[in-house]
Amino acid sequence: MSQNRRDFLKSTALATGAAMIINDSYKSVAGIIPADLKTGSMKLSYHPYTLELNHVFTIATNSRTTTPVMLAEIEMNGIFGYGEASLPPYLGESHKTVQEFLSKIDLSKYENPFDLETILNDIDNIEPGHTAAKASVDIALHDLIGKLMGQPWFNIWGYNKNKAPNTSFTIGIDTPEVVRQKTKEAEQYKILKVKLGRKTDKEMVETIRSVTNKPLTGDVNQGWNDKEKTLEMLHWLKEQNMVMIEQPLPKEQIDDLAWLTERSPIPIIGDEGVQRLADIKKAAGVYHGINIKLMKCTGMREAHKMLLLARSLEMKVMIGCMTETSCAISAASHLSPMVDWADLDGALLIKNDFFEGTKINNGKITLMDRPGIGAVKL
C-alpha cells in the first residue's frame, strides 16, 4: 500500500470514528469469553471406533459393511472440543496411520487456541497426506473455539442456519429388489443420490424411477471412461430428471472431463479430482463445480476457504461426507447454508452413532443452536 493511500485511510478512519468502533469491537469479543477462563494448555486425545452400516454399501470400486473412524478430543480447562476422522479403507488411512500421525502432534506448546492458522498449518506441515487425521484435530479445535466463544460456527462465519438445504440420500448399487426397498425407505428425502459406474446403471435409475419421480444426483466415482458414451448417457440421465453428476470419468482424464463440461446438459462436479484448496484453480474449466469433504481437505478451516474460492471462480459447490458419526456431519453442516447441493447423509447410514447433533428433519439439514460444531456425545 502506498504512503498516500495509508494516510488517506488513516485520516478517513479518524474522521468517521472508525478507530473507536474497532476498539469497542475488541472489548465485546473479549466480553464473550468468561472472565475466569484461563487459556491454558490444550490436550489432544483420541480413540478408535468402528461404525456399523445399515446396508452393505457398494460403489463402483468396492463394497463394505463397516467403516473405521477415530474420535478425537481436545481438552482445555475442562472444556472439550470433539473431532472425528472417517477412514474408508480405499482412501489409505487406517486406525494405525491416524494413531501414528496424531502421536506427533503436541498442542501443549500453543498458548492461544484461537490461533488456528498457525496451529493447523504446523499440523499440515508434519507430513503430506493424512487428511482425515488432520481433519479430526481441525474439527475438535473448531468445536473448542466455538465453545470458548459461546457461538456456533454458522454464526461465527456469518451464515443463516435456516438456509441449510435438503440433503440427498444415497442409494448404493444393489439388486433391483433392494434398490426398490431402499428407495421406499428414503421417503422423507427430497433428493436421491444414485451410485453409478457399472453395467447396470440404466437399470438402477429405471428401478428408482419405478418408485419415485424425485430429482436425482448421480455419482460415478470415476467408473466410466469413454467421453462420447458418457455424454450420451448424461443426455439420457437429464431426461430422467438427474440434476448433476459427480466424477463421471477418472480424475486423470482432464482433457476429456473439460470436453464433457463444455457439452454436458447437467453440471459436472469434481470429487476424487478435487481434494484440497490448491486443486481448485486447476479444476476451473475442467468441472462446473466441486464436492468439498472435510476428510479429504483436512477439515473446516480449509473447507471454508475452498467454498469461498470456488464461489469467486463462479463454480458450483457441493458439500459431501464419508460414512461418519454426527460429529463430523455436524461440523460440515455449518457450511451447508452456502452450497448448491448437500450430501450429508453419512450418519443416517450407520447403526451406532456416537454423537447427537445436526439432524435431518423431513430431508432438510437442521443445525442445532449450540456453541462449536453443535454435537454432544451420546
Interface with Mg ion by CB under 5 A: which residues?
219, 246, 271
- Amino acid identity, position 175: T
Q: Which is nearer to Mg ion, 138 or 219 (CB)?
A: 219
From the CB of 59, what's the least distance to Mg ion, in Å?
Answer: 8
How crowded is residue 137: how many other Cβ atoms within 10 Å of its Cβ?
A: 26
Q: Which is nearer to Mg ion, 336 or 374 (CB)?
A: 336
Q: Which is nearer to Mg ion, 246 or 302 (CB)?
A: 246
From the CB of 358, what's the least distance to Mg ion, in Å?
Answer: 20
DSSP per residue, 74-125: EEETTEEEEEEEE--GGGS--HHHHHHHHTT--GGG-S-TT-HHHHHHHHHT
Dihedral sign, CA of 295, 307, 365, 59?
Answer: negative
Give the single-character DSSP code of 175: -
From the CB of 152, what's the least distance to Mg ion, in Å?
Answer: 27
From the CB of 293, what's the least distance to Mg ion, in Å?
Answer: 8
Q: Which residues of 12-24 are buried (b: 16+ CB within 10 A; e: fewer)?
A: eeeeeeeeeeeee
Of 173, 150, 166, 142, residue with least CA distance to 300: 142
Q: Is 362 helix (H, G, I), strand (E, B) or coil?
A: coil
From the CB of 44, what's the least distance to Mg ion, in Å?
Answer: 30
Which residues 6+ apart lie within 8 Å of 249 measured at CB? 220, 222, 224, 225, 227, 230, 256, 257, 260
Q: Which is nearer to Mg ion, 95 or 276 (CB)?
A: 276
Give the single-character DSSP code of 36: T
From the CB of 272, what's the least distance to Mg ion, in Å?
Answer: 7
Q: Which is nearer to Mg ion, 143 or 246 (CB)?
A: 246
From the CB of 318, what's the least distance to Mg ion, in Å?
Answer: 9
Q: Which is nearer to Mg ion, 91 or 149 (CB)?
A: 91
- Amino acid identity, position 270: G
From the CB of 202, what's the least distance to Mg ion, in Å?
Answer: 20
Cell digits of residue 247: 466424477
Residue nearest to Mg ion (CB): 271
- Tell me which residue has cell 430431508: 363
Q: Which is nearer to Mg ion, 201 or 246 (CB)?
A: 246
Q: Which is nearer to Mg ion, 137 or 315 (CB)?
A: 315
From the CB of 222, what's the least distance to Mg ion, in Å?
Answer: 9
Q: Which is nearer to Mg ion, 48 or 215 (CB)?
A: 215
What ranges in the chain are assigned the alpha helix state H? 3-16, 18-32, 95-102, 116-124, 131-149, 153-157, 176-185, 201-209, 227-239, 254-263, 280-283, 294-297, 300-312, 326-333
Calculate the CA dihedral of residues 86, 90, 96, 101 and round it to 10 degrees.
-70
